[in-house]
C-alpha cells in the first residue's frame, strides 16, 4: 500500500503503540497534521508552546515507562523544543521528537523557518536523524524508538523535510531492527558479580546508593530484595526517589546537597558503597575528595561511561540494573553468604543516632505558612499516593524531602538539567497517562510562570491537575544562596508584580484558591482535591525567608552539612 511520508508517520506511530503525540503545528509539518486529522489511532495533544510539548511527553514517559512522542515544526518549533530535549537527555528519559524541516532542496538556503535541527540538538540527544528519502522513513523511525528506549534511554530527534512527508512509498511496519553499531549490554559480567558479592560478605557498614536507573529499569522489587538480604541502609538520589519505599525502615532519605543528615553521614562512614543506577553527580557527592572516603565502591550501571567518570570505583558492573541485581541475589544465595549480625547491629545503632538528630525538623511560626508544613499536609491529604511533578528550586527540594514516595514513577522532576517550567506540562503528560489518578504539581511563583500558558492546554484536554504553588515572592533557592554566600544582597531574586494567580486560574476557566494562614492549608487542600474533575490552582503564600536544610555548601564534604 503506497502512503505519503506523513501517513507513514501516523501509521508507524500507531503500529508502534504510541497513544499520545504532543505537538504544535506549523508550515513544515502541515502534511503530517493533515494525516493526523485523517486517522483516529493516535491522539494529538495540542500544547501552547513547544517546550511544554517535550515536558508533557517527558512526564508521560517518566510515569509510564513508555517513550514520550513529540511533533514540532521546523525553525522556532525545533529550537523551542531544545530545552525539553536537554531535560530528557540529562535524566535519561526515552523520548522521540519529530521535527519538521524545510523541503530538501531548500536545506542550507536560510529558508523561512529553517534551522539545522540535527546540528542544534546533537549535543543533547542520544542520537538524531535527518530523513532525506521517504523510503528510509519507516526504518529510521523504528531505529529512533529502538535507540530511545534501550540501553541507557534518552531522547532521539528525527528531522523530516516537508517534501519527504508528501512523497509516497509502500509502507510495511518494520517489526524488528538490528544495528551493528548499537548493542547495549544487559547482563553483568559474572566475574565482577562474584567480586562484588565477596565484598558484600566482608562489609561491616554496607550502604546502598541508588538513582534513576532503578526506576528506569523497573528494578525496585529486586532492589528491595537486595537491601533486605544485606540489611543495609538505602539512600536515593533525587532521581531515584520511589525506587525504594520511603516508609521502609532501611530507608535513610535522600543524599547530597540537601540530603538528610543520616544519609550523608552514612555515606561518609560506610565501608562498602553499592551504587546502582546512579551517576555520582556533583549535587550528590559534594566535594569529591571527601565522598565516601572509607568505602570500597561497587557501581552497577547500564552506561559504561558513567562508571569511574567522577569517582574511581573498585568493582564496575556494566549491565541493566534489574538483571545485575538478580545475578547478585543468585550469587549471594550460591555463596552461602551470612550477614555479619554483630557489625550490622553496631552500624544500625550508629545510623539511629544520626536519625535522632531529626534533621528535617523545622521551626514553626504561628503566622507564616511553612512550606515544609504545606508539603506534609499534601502528603497526608493525598495519602502519599499522588503523582507529584515539580518545578525547580526550593519547593523541589522540600517536595523531595517531605513527600515520602513509596512507589516508583510517582516523583517526576527535572533532576539533571534543573529546568524551571517543567512541572505543569509534565503533570499534563502524567494526567493523560493516568486520567483517574491524583496528580499534583508542586511549584513556585517563579517556575510556574515559565509555562503558565499551559493552563489553557489543561482546560482543552480536561486535565484536573492540582497546582500547589508555594508562593514566597522570591526565587527562593537563588535568595537562599544570596543570603548564605552574597551577604544577603538579593540581586533580582525578588518576584515583583506577581499576577493574581486566583484570577489568572479563573481566567483560564479553572479554580483558584489562595491560602494565607497555616490554619487554612489543610481545609484548602481538602477542598481542592475533592474537585476531582477540575484543575485547582492553590496559591499558598509561604514564609519568604525559609531555607532548605540540611545544606552542604559548595566545596564541602557531605559530613560538613549545615543543619538548621
DSSP 73-95: -STHHHHHHHHHHHHHHHTT--E
Closer residue to other proteins (CB): 183 or 202: 183
Helix (H, G, I), strand (E, B) or coil at 236: strand
Which spans in 167-320 are helix H?
Answer: 190-202, 212-216, 220-230, 261-269, 282-285
CA dist., res. 28 & res. 13, Å (int): 19
For the chain, what's the residue count?
564
Catalytic one of 273, 477, 525, 561: 477
Q: Which residues, 6 or more positions from 487, have their beta carbon under 8 angstroms from its beta carbon? A: none
Closer residue to other proteins (CB): 130 or 257: 130
Closer residue to other proteins (CB): 123 or 366: 123
Catalytic residue status for 113:
yes
Contact 319, 186 (CB under 8 A): yes
Closer residue to other proteins (CB): 149 or 340: 149
Closer residue to other proteins (CB): 185 or 357: 185
Per DSSP, 441 falls in state E
Closer residue to other proteins (CB): 41 or 122: 122
Closest distance of CB 222 from other proteins, Å? 25
Closest distance of CB 562 from other proteins, Å? 32
Q: What is the dihedral sign for C-alpha 535, 536, 539, 540?
A: negative
Distance of CA 400 to the CA centre of its chain: 12
Contact 418, 239 (CB under 8 A): no
Closest distance of CB 128 from other proteins, Å? 8
**Phi-psi label, residue 500: left if phi above 0, alpha if psi -120 to 50, beta otherwise:** beta
Closest distance of CB 85 from other proteins, Å? 15
Catalytic one of 39, 112, 228, 289: 112
Q: Where are the beta strands (DSSP E) in 7-113?
A: 20-23, 43-46, 68-72, 95-101
Q: How far is CA 453 from CA 34, 318, 421, 495, in A?
A: 25, 43, 10, 18
- Give which of 24, 84, 46 is closest to 421, Cα–Cα: 84
Catalytic residue status for 162:
yes
Catalytic one of 126, 142, 143, 162: 162
Pairing of the two strands 439-444 and 127-130: unpaired
Catalytic one of 50, 222, 331, 454: 50
Supply 479's cell numbers. 535568595
Closer residue to other proteins (CB): 416 or 421: 416
Closest distance of CB 180 from other proteins, Å? 6
Catalytic residue status for 477:
yes
Closest distance of CB 553 from other proteins, Å? 26
Q: Which residues, 6 or more positions from 399, have their beta carbon under 8 angstroms from its beta carbon? A: 375, 388, 390, 411, 413, 442
Closer residue to other proteins (CB): 127 or 409: 127
Supply 6's cell numbers. 506523513
Closer residue to other proteins (CB): 231 or 308: 308
- Give which of 171, 240, 241 is closest to 404, Cα–Cα: 241
CA dist., res. 7 & res. 13, Å (int): 10
In what helix (H) or strand (E) does residue 168 lie, and over which residues does it extend? strand 168-170
Catalytic one of 66, 113, 187, 407: 113
Name the site residues for other proteins (rule: CB under 8 A): 118-119, 122-123, 126-127, 130, 147, 179-182, 303-305, 308-309, 312
Closer residue to other proteins (CB): 144 or 430: 144
Closest distance of CB 133 from other proteins, Å? 12
Catalytic residue status for 50:
yes
Closest distance of CB 267 from other proteins, Å? 22
CA dist., res. 135 & res. 364, Å (int): 65
Closest distance of CB 179 from other proteins, Å? 7
* CB hemisphere CA count around 404 (13 angstroms): 15
Closest distance of CB 125 from other proteins, Å? 10
Closer residue to other proteins (CB): 83 or 401: 83
Contact 208, 274 (CB under 8 A): yes
Q: How far is CA 17 from CA 67, 68, 120, 147, 150, in A?
A: 10, 11, 29, 16, 16
In what helix (H) or strand (E) does residue 439 lie, and over which residues does it extend? strand 439-444
Residues paired with 537 in a beta bridge: 467, 512
DSSP 304-341: GGGTTSSS--SEEEES-HHHHHHHHHHHHHHTT----H
Closest distance of CB 305 from other proteins, Å? 4
CA dist., res. 354 & res. 351, Å (int): 5
List residues with catalytic annotation: 50, 112-113, 162, 477
Amino acid at each position: 500500500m503506497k502512503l505519503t511520508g506523513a501517513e507513514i508517520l501516523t501509521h508507524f506511530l500507531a503500529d508502534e503503540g504510541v497513544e499520545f503525540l504532543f505537538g504544535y503545528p506549523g508550515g513544515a509539518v502541515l502534511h503530517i497534521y493533515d494525516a493526523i486529522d485523517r486517522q483516529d489511532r493516535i491522539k494529538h495533544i495540542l500544547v501552547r508552546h513547544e517546550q511544554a510539548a517535550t515536558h508533557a511527553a517527558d512526564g508521560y514517559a517518566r510515569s509510564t515507562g513508555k517513550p514520550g512522542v513529540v511533533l514540532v515544526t521546523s525553525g522556532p518549533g525545533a529550537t523551542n523544543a531544545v530545552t525539553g530535549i536537554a531535560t530528557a537527555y540529562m535524566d535519561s528519559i526515552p523520548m522521540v521528537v519529530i521535527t519538521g524541516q524545510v523541503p530538501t532542496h531548500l536545506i542550507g538556503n536560510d529558508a523561512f523557518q529553517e534551522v539545522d535541527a540535527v546540528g542544534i540538538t546533537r549535543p543533547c540527544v542520544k542520537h538524531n536523524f535527518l530523513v532525506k528519502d521517504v523510503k528510509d522513513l519507516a526504518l529510521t523511525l523504528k531505529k529512533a524508538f529502538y535507540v530511545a528506549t534501550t540501553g541507557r534511554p534518552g531522547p532521539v530527534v528525527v528531522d523530516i523535510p516537508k517534501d519527504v512527508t508528501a512523497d509516497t512509498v509502500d509502507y510495511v511496519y518494520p517489526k524488528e531492527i538490528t544495528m551493528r553499531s548499537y548493542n547495549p549490554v544487559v547482563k553483568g559480567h559474572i566475574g565482577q558479580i562474584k567480586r562484588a558479592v565477596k565484598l558484600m560478605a566482608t562489609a561491616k557498614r554496607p550502604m546502598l546508593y541508588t538513582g534513576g536507573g532503578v526506576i528506569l529499569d523497573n528494578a525496585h522489587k529486586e532492589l528491595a530484595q537486595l537491601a533486605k538480604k544485606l540489611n543495609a541502609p538505602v539512600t536515593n538520589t533525587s532521581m531515584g526517589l520511589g525506587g525504594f519505599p520511603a516508609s521502609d525502615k532501611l530507608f535513610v532519605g535522600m543524599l547530597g546537597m540537601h540530603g538528610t543528615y543520616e544519609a550523608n553521614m552514612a555515606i561518609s562512614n560506610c565501608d562498602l558503597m553499592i551504587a546502582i543506577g546512579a551517576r555520582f553527580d556533583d549535587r550528590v557527592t559534594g566535594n569529591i575528595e571527601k565522598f565516601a572516603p572509607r568505602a570500597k565502591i561497587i557501581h552497577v550501571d547500564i552506561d559504561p561511561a558513567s562508571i569511574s567518570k567522577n569517582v574511581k570505583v573498585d568493582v564496575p558492573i556494566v549491565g541493566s540494573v534489574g538483571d545485575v541485581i538478580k545475578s547478585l541475589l543468585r550469587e549471594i544465595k550460591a555463596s552461602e553468604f551470612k550477614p555479619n549480625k554483630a557489625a550490622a547491629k553496631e552500624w544500625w545503632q550508629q545510623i539511629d543516632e544520626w536519625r535522632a538528630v531529626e534533621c528535617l525538623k523545622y521551626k514553626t511560626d504561628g503566622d507564616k505558612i511553612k512550606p515544609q508544613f504545606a508539603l506534609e499536609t499534601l502528603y497526608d491529604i493525598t495519602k502519599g499516593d499522588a503523582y507529584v511533578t515539580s518545578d525547580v528550586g526550593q519547593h523541589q527540594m522540600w517536595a523531595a524531602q517531605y513527600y515520602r514516595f513509596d512507589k516508583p514513577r510517582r516523583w517526576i522532576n527535572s533532576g539533571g538539567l534543573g529546568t524551571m517550567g517543567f512541572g505543569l506540562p509534565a503533570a499534563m503528560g502524567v494526567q493523560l497517562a493516568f486520567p483517574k489518578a491524583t496528580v499534583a504539581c508542586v511549584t513556585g511563583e517563579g517556575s510556574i510562570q515559565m509555562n503558565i500558558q499551559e493552563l489553557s492546554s489543561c482546560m482543552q484536554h480536561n486535565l484536573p491537575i492540582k497546582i500547589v504553588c508555594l508562593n514566597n515572592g522570591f526565587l527562593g533557592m537563588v535568595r537562599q544562596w544570596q543570603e548564605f554566600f552574597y551577604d544577603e544582597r538579593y540581586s533580582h531574586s525578588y518576584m515583583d508584580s506577581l499576577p493574581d494567580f486566583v484570577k489568572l486560574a479563573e481566567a483560564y476557566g479553572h479554580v483558584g484558591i489562595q491560602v494565607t494562614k497555616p490554619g487554612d492549608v489543610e481545609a484548602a487542600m481538602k477542598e481542592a482535591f475533592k474537585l476531582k474533575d477540575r484543575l485547582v490552582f492553590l496559591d499558598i503564600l509561604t514564609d519568604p525567608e525559609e531555607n532548605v536544610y540540611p545544606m552542604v555548601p559548595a566545596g564541602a564534604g557531605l559530613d560538613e552539612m549545615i543543619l538548621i
